[in-house]
Structure 1
């Protein structure tokens, strides 16, 4: 049953995503997870506590947010089953769709490409600042395009493939549990002193949850691009994350680019290694090519989910 649910969720997300009017009125489920995590962090992550105590509090936080996400999704799915019977899969597919970010990711990256095409670097910087954490004020066209491509590639995993993977493995509770884990990692899974101990469980859980999806994401991008395998297999481990390097290296190889490299955060330059051994002069043409690969990868996922649903 998970396969037709996945196919419907993909179609709904591609078609309408999470409309801005709906977001303005009710927010997004991920926002609820963020508020719960913020509540726990404020109360349990006390500077006066020992590292062991803060780490235990972080474990409790990630367990709580997973329980709320998975439990709530399970309850809604059960209610749909009781109310709708055999048609419940349609309602469950609609519940799953907001857990994907196919349309949202595309809608965030396309305006960056349009701004670069129009030689509006300030708008391009402002747009890319919405999806990356690095300093953008001094980025030139190549820097903006590189940042957008890297974010697009990495988000193939946590915005598309991983939610679908966990939907297929554990149903809609698995999808929303993953979204809760990923949200926790983005909020508290950092190495700064404030979060190092408290966010440890969130970061490690996210690493585990993305272990298989990240490698699937890299392979999917290589298939969609018709290349990139050698770079992916060689350079994936150069990324600080055990998972993010797979789709990023796949995209670097597919486009014959060098991605990553030295990046500034809060005025300090992190001397990161380059991923890929291609060109460094990244342009809006490369960004548009990356969007094309992304579109083909998403269509491929839809065909895979549909084919499995039809065969089963």
Structure 2
């Protein structure tokens, strides 16, 4: 009940503009980084362990001794704090409107809310592709993964997962400063998302009828086919599962050349369809929302099964 209520709170309130708990965690992590930073994997591992361990411990303490109603409300609050599905969908719709209006400068300036890709020089279709890819990948990170961790580990799982994901965004990118120090955060994020990314792929296959253009069965079959064929082609061990399933469901072809901070990356193409167009952005938002609904039901079912098993034992 707490997980479902938290999803409802996210639908109504989305992320707060000020005083977000995740932003508070990020600020504390940044201060700790200044104290212990060193160009080594060992220091990075200590930094990651302290941040994630503290977050998980706070979750354990918060849950301990709570009555059922209080625990439900606590879970709801924690779920709302770590979810980003509604804000993700809103960003997608902002991009859709700006692209539909021909406001390319506005769309380029807004793309940073979804990904770190360099938007300069991107035309409307390239911006649409970047948005579709980001919506597919971030649905796994911002919705499916936290809900699954909450289902199996309660409030500690919710908070610890968001801590891991936040650290990856802060220090996990490969660069001169974080190539060694951020290694532990990046690898832990890969591990924490390994199962959720594959669940995201499966939920996307099931949600394919919500965006079908040539029949529901065909959309499901194509999404499943592309997921199986192209899911492992992406350089990320997890993002490819989310993006390939979305490519099949939407009937588009994702991947290609991406620029990040002046560095050009050529990524394998995912899917057999046409290149994404502006009108596909709204479809990608609809698909993300359908996956969110499926993830909420899946997480609630897992939590219920775990509760019944615990009661029998």
Q: Give matches, 1:76-91, under 5 Å.
A: 76-78=62-64, 81=66, 86-91=69-74
| 1:160-183: CA deviation from partner (whole Å, max 9, x where unpaired) | 010011101111111110111111
CA distance in 1, matches of 2:261, 2:292: 34
Counterparts of 2:151 and 2:263 in 1: how far apart (Å)?
A: 41
Question: How far apart are residue 142 of structure 1 and its match?
Answer: 0.5
Correspondent of 1:237 among 227, 232, 236: 232
CA distance in 2, matches of 1:85, 1:178: 23
1:215 is aligned to 2:198: yes
Superposed CA deviations along residues 141-196 of structure 1, whole A, max 9, x for unmatched, are 10111001111000111100100111011111111101111111111112223111
**What is the aligned partner in structure 1 of residue 267 from structure 2?**
272
5+ residue gaps, structure 1, are 48-53
Q: Write out aligned runs for 1:175-194 (5 A).
A: 175-194=158-177
How many angstroms apart in 2 are the aligned matches of 1:159 and 1:243?
14
Deviation at 1:242, TM superposition (A): 0.3
Cα distance, 1:304 vs structure 2: 3.8
| Range with bigger deviation, 265-274 or 118-127 | 265-274
Q: In angstroms, what is the RMSD of aligned CA positions?
A: 1.9
Write the distance in 2 (CA, Å) between the matches of 1:151 and 1:174: 24
The separation in 1 between residues aligned to 2:41 and 2:289, in whole angstroms, is 40
- Cα distance in 2 for partners of 1:241, 1:196 equals 16
Contact 1:99 1:163 in 2 (8 A): yes
Cα offsets for 1:99-134 (capped at 9, x unmatched): 111111111111000111111111111111221111
Structure 1 residue 61 and structure 2 residue 58: aligned? no
In the alignment, which of 95, 103, 118 is matched to residue 112 of structure 1?
95
Give the corresponding residue for 2:57: 71
User: Superposed, which structure 2 residues align to 1:5-154 within 5 Å?
Assistant: 5-20=2-17, 23=18, 27-47=19-39, 54-78=40-64, 81=66, 86-154=69-137
Alpha-carbon distance in 1 for matches of 2:239, 2:304: 32
Question: Do the aligned partners of 1:109 and 1:128 also contact (CA within 8 Å) in 2?
Answer: no
Deviation at 1:41, TM superposition (A): 2.6
TM-score (norm 2): 0.88
Distance 1:268 1:88, change over 3 A: closer
Secondary structure of the 1:129 match is helix
Name the counterpart of 1:255: 250
The TM-score, its normalising length taken from structure 1, stands at: 0.88
Unaligned runs of 5+ in 2: 210-219, 309-313
Q: Aligned partners of 2:7, 2:292: CA distance in 1, in Å? A: 8
Deviation at 1:309, TM superposition (A): 6.7
- SS class of match (2:231): helix
Q: Is the 8 A contact 2:152 2:302 kept in 1?
A: no
2:188 to 179, 201, 205: 205
Q: Any idea what the Cα deviations from partners look like across 1:255-281, whole Å, max 9, x if unmatched?
A: 12111211112233212221222112x
8 A contact 2:44–2:180 mirrored in 1? yes
Q: 1:73 to 1:13 in 2, by over 3 A?
A: same
